[in-house]
Amino acid sequence: MLKRIAPDQLRLGMYVQEIPGPWMNHPFWRGSFKLEKYEDLKTLRSAKIEQILIDTSKGRDIVMEDEPKAAAPVAAESTPEAAADAAAIDIPAEPTRSRPAKIVVQVGAEQERVQAARVLTASRKAIMTMFNETRMGKALDVRQAMPVVQEITASVARNSGALISLARLKTADDYTYMHSVAVCALMIALGHQLGLSPEETRQAGIAGLLHDIGKMAVPADILNKPGKLTDDEFTSVKKHAQAGHAILRGVDGIGDAALDVSLHHHEKIDGSGYPFNLKGNQISMVAKMGAVCDVYDAITSNRPYKPGWEPGHSVKRMASNQGHFDETILEAFIKSVGIFPTGSCVVMHSGKVGIVIDQHPGSLLTPKVKVFFSALTMAPLPIEIIDLATTRSGDKIASHADPAKLHLPNLETIWASTVIT
């Protein structure tokens, strides 16, 4: 039976079914869990939460002296899942009510960066816990991934460039986890661009989030090796695709998209990929999506053995790589991230050098650029934001810029700066 209780009524052994409020506003990434640690009990009791939903059929009930008059079974929500839960606990489901669709307000990248950073921090913790539990042999509960996908989807809907560009900034220790979060976001953005339904896009996001779960079957010393892998080590890493498929195949409620992408995201159109050397139409659309998103995030991220490529240069290289990607999928991907993706370093016709900070919905060639350096004088310039979609200066992007060749300062610092002169 489901009951709502006050935090001070919590006892060890209770099964927490739901903690109200936004997922990122409390320290528990799981939507439901058995309360077995005193530290968790203490945290929940001290949190600013009025009520918590427990399931007495899965854990301890409240004791009689703690029974409040307000404690009562919770009426089922008007969703198919809630109706099924209600049937299981003998609560009659209420008739389905139509709910107004949520209106997503698109915002600028600068405005979304703060929220996107919060989403990434919380997602990192959730995925790290989920993946490490899988490494230890614990069963994966796909429902626990839903809050992560929902938060990422919301951020991408407000401004896709903000979260995707921030997700490139990984450390060696969290690469595997943040790569999964980044691929999830890229899959969602690509799904929108391809016109997939909301459910298809959600499944694509889940597939992206879990596509590398098989790496938890790879020895940690090989997975985190800072240098080049030996042939035997690379063979071990390549087994992660089949290992991931085997892990997900045993998970209740997992969708076909996640199974497909986990197994086939390293296949290539020309048949040179692995594990089965599939070609062209032998590879599903969602697996082709996974291949593009996986490679883009991998090559734009700094790794212990090589620095990441500049985003715009990466898009150009991917477009020139014949036989690797499906052309239709790649074209849609470039439209979703931009010819000059957010975070790209570019040089203008005027010689000014800048970093792309936002996209223009109506044109891939006119993003917002924060200029800070001159390629002509090789000296810093006063920071200025130029919106190429509205400026009358006539200046345009000439090409991608190589930060290393120009000996530029830390681009992340310039990007995050809010100084405008």
pLDDT at 404: 80
How far apart, in Å, do the first and last CA atoms of the chain sit?
Answer: 61
Where do the domains of the chain lie? 2-88, 109-337, 345-416
Name which of 23, 30, 53 is nearest 144 in CA terms. 30
pLDDT at 183: 97
* DSSP conformation class of 216: G
Instruction: State how far the Cα of 1 lies from the Cα of 273, in Å rounded to an integer.
Output: 50
Residue given tokens 């929940």 in the structure block:
44
pLDDT at 90: 34
pLDDT at 29: 53
Residues 382, 385, 356, 185, CA torsion sign? positive
Where does 109-337 sit in CATH, by number? 1.10.3210.10
Angle at 104 between CA 102 and CA 105, to 5 degrees: 140
Element holding 119 (H helix, E strand): helix 109-135
Using H for helix, E for strand and C for coil, what is the string for 229-259?
CCHHHHHHHHCHHHHHHHHHHCCCCCCHHHH
pLDDT at 252: 87
Residues 170, 173, 174, 177, CA torsion sign? positive
- List the chain pLDDT tens, one digit each, 421 residues: 888 888 888 888 888 888 776 555 555 655 678 887 766 777 787 777 778 888 888 888 875 444 444 444 444 333 433 333 333 333 333 333 333 344 456 788 888 988 999 999 889 888 998 898 899 988 888 887 888 999 999 999 999 889 998 888 887 778 889 999 999 999 999 999 999 999 999 999 999 999 999 999 999 889 888 888 899 999 999 999 999 999 999 898 899 999 999 999 999 999 999 999 999 999 999 999 999 999 999 999 887 777 788 898 899 999 998 899 999 999 999 999 999 999 899 999 999 999 999 998 778 889 999 999 999 999 999 999 999 988 777 889 999 888 888 888 666 666 655 433 3
Element holding 184 (H helix, E strand): helix 175-194
Residue given tokens 């052309």 in the structure block:
327
Question: What pTM did the predictor assign?
Answer: 0.75
